[in-house]
Amino acid sequence: MISKLKKIKSLPKRMVIHGEPIVGGFAVGRVFYYQDILTREIEKKKLTKKQVEEELERLQRAIDKVHRDLEKLKSKVANEIDTEHAEIFGAHQLILKDEELLKDIKNGLKNKRLNVEQIVQEVFGKWEKKIKGQDISAIPERANDVIDVGRRLLRALVGSVNQHSVLDRSKDSVIFAHRLLPSDTASFNIKNVKAIVTVEGTQNSHSAILAKALDIPFVSKINVPIDSLSRGARVIVDGDKGLIIVNPTQAELESYPLLIQKRLSKRLKVLKRIENINLKTNGELIKVSANVSSLSDIKMAIDCGADDIGLYRTEPLYMNSQNFPAEENLYLQLVAALNCVGDQEVNLRLLDIGGDKTLPFLDIVEIKDAALGLNGIRLLLKYPSLLEIQLRVFLRLSAKFNVKVSVPMVTLPKDMIEVRRYFSQEKDKLRKEKIPFNEGLFLGAMIETPAALMSIDELLEHSDFLSIGTNDLVQYIMAAGREKIEVSEYYKAGNLLVVNALKDVIRKTKEAGKECSICGELAGNLKFTKSFLDIGLRNFSVHSSMIPYIKYKIIRLTDNRAELLSVKDK
């Protein structure tokens, strides 16, 4: 019989709970109890003969609904993890179609004349026991799959609120549950779920496999009753050692984030090895680079296994200054940063002021509220001395470092033509002064506006590469400000539109023999990795913290999978 989770007195003191490590890693979060629908008492109702027919119809509707839900879950997992894991839910669809199981439910209904929820609970319980009673090692998992399907069916019948939506709202949750079934784990919002703690659970459980794929630390078989902690209590979960520290000390709270970072670096070493093999699909190399804006960002990018620096936002060089930095000041600051990079390529972006970014010392009336005004390259072309200094600095840097230059907020091909004119002018000056630079330094347009998207052929003629800034592109396509919460729904809806709109750009850039990268936040969104690969994207540039995840995802989605497994097995 299943007991209800009870609220038990809180344990404010520090305490350590021991369990079995299932998935390694560390997390800091707060206790969140996850209650299973099977733990509820279901009301028993006696049926008339006529009602039995109605219950049979209700059963069929619930089966159809569960089938559709499983189909959705399958594609969610295929997108976020891979098709192999998604097949767990294909297997669940088969269980749902199992003729013997359905016969049991239908016969139970007709013979016992009880509401279908009762019968479903009973039949699935019987099947669970039956499967567990068989002496085959893989069986417990199969029993869990059967329970999972039974629970879904029950939920569809009861019409209960989907409990996963609760999880969606709880940030920093450490899930405490008696047991977790695959669909629980797969439905979690990975941003919110920091760790999992259960009573039942094995290394080979589908939940554990999914947690591993989602990189969620997991401890099972804990040595205290699962419901003995106060809700919301702060906990540190150590998935490597299989322990949970409840109400940790300040010193522990400070030391665990360091361990989290250290572990990330360790995992990255594995990724580094793979990186040496090179990520590829259909023979084409795939790069996952970093977006940076400071020296410390660069260090993090290197730690996180960035292939290149796909976007160097130079605004902080200006924002942290009392006035326009002089050429030498700019040059020296960038040399200090680029010295840490090695021979990786760095995409230096020209100053992108306006829109969401302004400068404290810049008193140009036109740039206030400049989302539709004087921003990015427009501002630089209006105040050319700003542009000239940057181009000169970037050209000087090109003598020593592997850099290229991107132009923000391009709308008209004329923008690129004019920047090129200043570019040539600065090259001429440097030649005359006998200051070395790379004659072949690349200059590329950022594609951040619908106008640029529509003029791609012409822009390509004036660009050595393209860099797509989806943060702005989405806002301009959707007419929904990137910082405006009131229209965030519209902004979000624009993501998919933009991904689809980029297919042509990527194809055309490739046909022109040039490189195209995406450096907006969308490139770091795991939900879109598959779509991006499908539309031909081979250059991702993302926040460093996302690099391992994106690489992991790419490995799972492409022909690098076998290589990952062999590296991990060593």
Catalog residues that contact Mg ion under the rule CB under 5 A. Answer: 448, 469, 472
Shortest approach of ligand PEP to residue 313 CB, angstroms? Answer: 5
| Cα gap 105→121, rounded to integer Å | 9
Instruction: Give the nearer residue to ligand PEP in terms of CB position, either 195 or 446.
Output: 446
Shortest approach of Mg ion to residue 444 CB, angstroms? Answer: 14
Instruction: Give the nearer residue to ligand PEP in terms of CB position, either 128 or 352.
Output: 352
Shortest approach of Mg ion to residue 408 CB, angstroms? Answer: 6
> Quick one: what does residue 519 bind among Mg ion, ligand PEP, none, with the CB cut-off 5 to 8 Å set by partner type?
ligand PEP
> Rounded to the nearest 10 degrees, what angle do helices 206-214 and 83-97 cross at?
150
The CA-atom distances, in angstroms, between 91 and each of 37, 86, 153, 182 are: 21, 9, 15, 11
Shortest approach of Mg ion to residue 519 CB, angstroms? Answer: 9
Beta strands 287-292 and 284-285, pairing class: unpaired
Compute how many other C-beta atoms are within 10 angstroms of the C-beta atom of residue 562.
Answer: 9
Structure tokens at 106: 């239908």
Q: Is 180 in the site for ligand PEP (CB under 6 A)?
A: no
CA count, 13 A, side-chain hemisphere, 125:
11
Provide Rg for the chain, Cα atoms.
28
> Quick one: what does residue 227 bind among Mg ion, ligand PEP, none, with the CB cut-off 5 to 8 Å set by partner type?
none
Shortest approach of ligand PEP to residue 203 CB, angstroms? Answer: 41
Shortest approach of ligand PEP to residue 117 CB, angstroms? Answer: 50
What's the sign of the alpha-carbon dihedral 261, 263, 266, 271? negative
Region 334-353 residues binding ligand PEP, contact defined as CB under 6 A: 352
> Quick one: what does residue 470 bind among ligand PEP, Mg ion, none, with the CB cut-off 5 to 8 Å set by partner type?
ligand PEP
Shortest approach of Mg ion to residue 313 CB, angstroms? Answer: 9
| Cα gap 187→185, rounded to integer Å | 5
> Quick one: what does residue 520 bind among Mg ion, ligand PEP, none, with the CB cut-off 5 to 8 Å set by partner type?
ligand PEP
Angle at 300 between CA 386 and CA 535, to 5 degrees: 80
Please select the residue that binds ligand PEP; options are 520, 524, 536, 548, rule is CB under 6 A.
520
| Cα gap 542→526, rounded to integer Å | 11
Q: For residues 211 and 190, is the Cβ–Cβ distance under 8 A? A: no
* Residue count, binding to ligand PEP (CB under 6 A): 10
Region 459-498 residues binding ligand PEP, contact defined as CB under 6 A: 469-472
Q: For residues 386 and 351, is the Cβ–Cβ distance under 8 A? A: yes
Binding site for ligand PEP (CB under 6 A): 311, 313, 352, 448, 469-472, 519-520
